[in-house]
Amino acid sequence: MKLHKGDNVKMLSGKDRNKTGKIVSVHKEDNQVVVEGLNIIKRHTRARQQGQKGQIIHKERAISAASVALVCKSCGKATRIGYKINGDDKTRVCKKCGSEV
């Protein structure tokens, strides 16, 4: 997977389309990512103890990695990711401006 934890991404589809956020976690086996502040759901929880109240918790759900695009730090646009190999080093490269990500 070309996306890593801490990358800034832009949503390409869904209710949060065109919003940007930071990747909190990556699930490589499912090809999904969790983005901070995007794809928020409401989780209704029941009171577990006597006297405690039930509540509604807002949390981020995982979304497909194909639904987000990396935002380049230098050009500031949503872009695809390529790789450049220099000896033993493999670095990610922006497809639009060519700079390292």
Instruction: Find the domain containing 28 and state its range.
Output: 8-72
pTM: 0.83
Q: Please report whether residue 81 resides in a domain.
A: no
> What's phi and psi for 67, nearest 5 deg?
-90, 0
Q: Please report whether residue 42 resides in a domain.
A: yes
30 close to 44: Cβ distance less than 8 angstroms: no
Complete DSSP assignment for 50-90: TTPPPEEEEEE--EEGGGEEEEPTTT-SEE-EEEEEETTEE
Q: Does residue 90 surpass a pLDDT of 90? A: yes
Q: Please report whether residue 56 resides in a domain.
A: yes
CATH number at residue 41: 2.30.30.30
58 close to 40: Cβ distance less than 8 angstroms: yes
**Token reading at 21:** 């956020």
Q: Please report whether residue 37 resides in a domain.
A: yes
Q: How many domains does the chain have?
A: 1
Q: Please report whether residue 32 resides in a domain.
A: yes
Q: Please report whether residue 78 resides in a domain.
A: no
pLDDT digits (tens, 9 = 90+) for 3-25: 999 999 999 999 999 999 999 99
